[in-house]
């Protein structure tokens, strides 16, 4: 009897694996690919979190198109190796590294100050760095919850600090990596974005940070109306990246091992970032959420709420201590 049960279980497991491989194969077949004929010569691009995953592949793609690419990364040694690799593989020597840790507001301000001192133009700002939430709530030296500041507040501050340069460089673009996991964030209270009320859950923190990415995209698009600067958010899809590997959350770690079977390659995951950075649509459409290189309608009513977007924006200004001289709108 036990032999029969074991055999049945083995057959069921094998069938499940086969189904997963087939689903993954079909998923990858449906990925949109950005045509290569669109070049970016003369353009300057900043990509946060560009030392691995989709950020690295987006940087490689844009370098191959002739852009001057600035890798904004926390680990300079790792980023330096990536820059060398991209230069070698693309033949483009204009791939630079600058230090940025989006979990530190001081690092964000230092990075922005360096960019404003060194750069005369900025054509594309890709806000891509992120982490998967940890099991326990962690607060940074700025008093901000780690997931929220890394994925949302740090990028919110950086976008504000560089808005003046983006506006003077128009037409220009802001591209924000969000996620369809925002759909799991059922409710956002703008007054407790850092989970001060004790209701912290790792999945809630991650999904809320991604929802805030989309809400800020929509509000910022309204603020920038008529300036020549577009801002759009996106979901890269299901991709195996370090964001899952580095988390101590069991669900995130499980995704890391399943993603190679069910998910996209990192090159495929980077395509929507590249689309928004180089396509005509990315330069004319603003305030939208994209999946697979096209506008998505898979948004919850919550992230489509203009009133909530404004409140999240205002709370974010307070949380990062945005100063009058840092406002460029």
Distance of CA 83 to the CA centre of its chain: 19
Distance CA 143, CA 249 (A): 22
**Both tokens assigned to 273:** 């970032």
Cα 200 to Cα 34, 132, 141, 147, distances in angstroms = 39, 14, 18, 11
What mean pLDDT do residues 197-216 have? Answer: 93
- Asked whether the predicted pLDDT for residue 144 surpasses 60, the reply is yes
Instruction: Tell me the two tokens of residue 238.
Output: 């299901």
* Res 90: pLDDT: 97
User: How far apart are alpha carbons 252 and 237 in whole angstroms?
Assistant: 15
Distances (CA, A) of 136 to 194, 198, 199, 200, 247: 13, 11, 11, 8, 11
Residue 4 has pLDDT above 80, yes or no: no
As beta bridge partners, residue 42 has none
Give the tens place of pLDDT for each residue, 214-269: 999 999 999 999 999 999 999 998 776 666 555 555 555 555 566 566 568 899 99
**Rounded mean pLDDT, 133-158:** 95
The domains of the chain are located at: 31-326
Q: Tell me how far apart the alpha carbons of residues 35 and 22 are, in angstroms, rounded to a whole number.
A: 26
Q: List C-alpha distances in Å: 146 to 143, 220, 302.
A: 9, 23, 23
Q: In what order do the strands lie in the sheet with 95-99?
A: 95-99, 68-73, 44-48, 124-127, 172-177, 229-235, 289-291, 294-295
What are the pLDDT digits (tens) for 276-315?
999 999 999 999 999 999 999 889 999 999 999 999 999 9
Query: What pLDDT shows up at residue 32?
Result: 73
Contact in structure between 308 and 189 (CB atoms under 8 Å):
no
Looking at per-residue pLDDT, the higher value among 204 and 248 belongs to 204
Higher pLDDT, 78 or 38: 78
Which tens digits make up the pLDDT trace of 76-122? 999 999 999 999 999 999 999 999 999 999 999 999 999 999 999 99
User: Which CATH superfamily includes the segment(s) 31-326?
Assistant: NAD(P)-binding Rossmann-like Domain (3.40.50.720)
- 186 pLDDT band, cuts 50/70/90, is confident
Cα separation, 171 vs 12, whole angstroms: 55
What integer pLDDT is reported at residue 257 of this predicted model? 60
pTM attached to this predicted model? 0.91
206 given a catalytic annotation:
yes
The pLDDT of residue 35: 81
d(CA 329, CA 326): 9
Query: CA triplet 287, 271, 101: central angle to 5 degrees?
Result: 70
* pLDDT over 80 (residue 6): no
What pLDDT is stored for residue 263 in this prediction? 66
What is the DSSP code (8-state) at residue 120?
S
Does pLDDT of 16 surpass 70? Answer: no
The pair phi, psi for residue 275, each rounded to 5°, is: -55, -50
Each residue's pLDDT tens digit, 110-136 = 999 999 999 999 999 999 999 987 888
Cα-trace Rg, the chain: 20
Pairing status of strand 95-99 against strand 124-127? unpaired
Catalytic residue among 27, 200, 206, 256: 206
């Amino acid at each position: 009897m036990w032999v029969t049960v074991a055999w049945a279980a083995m057959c069921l497991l094998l069938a499940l694996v086969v189904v997963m491989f087939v689903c993954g194969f079909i998923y990858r077949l449906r990925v949109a690919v950005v045509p290569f004929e669109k070049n970016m010569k003369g353009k300057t691009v900043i990509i946060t979190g560009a030392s691995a995953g989709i950020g690295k592949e987006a940087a490689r793609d844009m370098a191959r198109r002739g852009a001057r690419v600035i890798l904004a990364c926390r680990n300079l040694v790792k980023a330096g190796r990536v820059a060398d690799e991209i230069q070698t593989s693309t033949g483009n020597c204009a791939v630079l590294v600058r230090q940025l840790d989006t979990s530190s507001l001081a690092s964000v301000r230092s990075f922005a100050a360096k960019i404003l001192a060194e750069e005369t133009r900025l054509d594309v700002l890709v806000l891509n760095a992120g982490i998967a939430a940890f099991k326990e709530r962690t607060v940074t030296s700025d008093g901000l919850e780690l997931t929220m500041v890394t994925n949302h507040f740090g990028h919110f501050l950086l976008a504000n600090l560089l808005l003046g340069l983006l506006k003077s460089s128009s037409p220009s673009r802001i591209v924000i990596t969000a996620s369809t996991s925002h759909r799991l964030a059922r409710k956002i209270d703008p007054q407790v974005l850092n989970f001060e009320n004790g209701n912290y859950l790792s999945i809630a923190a991650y999904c809320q940070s991604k929802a805030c990415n989309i809400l800020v995209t929509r509000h910022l698009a309204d603020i920038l109306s008529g300036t020549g600067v577009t801002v759009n958010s996106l979901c890269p899809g299901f991709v195996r990246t370090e964001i899952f590997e580095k988390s101590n959350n069991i669900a995130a770690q499980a995704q890391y091992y399943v993603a190679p079977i069910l998910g996209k390659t990192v090159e495929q995951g980077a395509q929507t970032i590249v689309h928004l950075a180089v396509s005509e649509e990315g330069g004319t459409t603003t305030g939208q959420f994209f999946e697979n290189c096209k506008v998505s309608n898979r948004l919850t009513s919550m992230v489509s709420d203009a009133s909530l977007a404004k409140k999240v924006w205002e709370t974010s200004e307070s949380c990062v201590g945005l100063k009058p001289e840092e406002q460029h709108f």
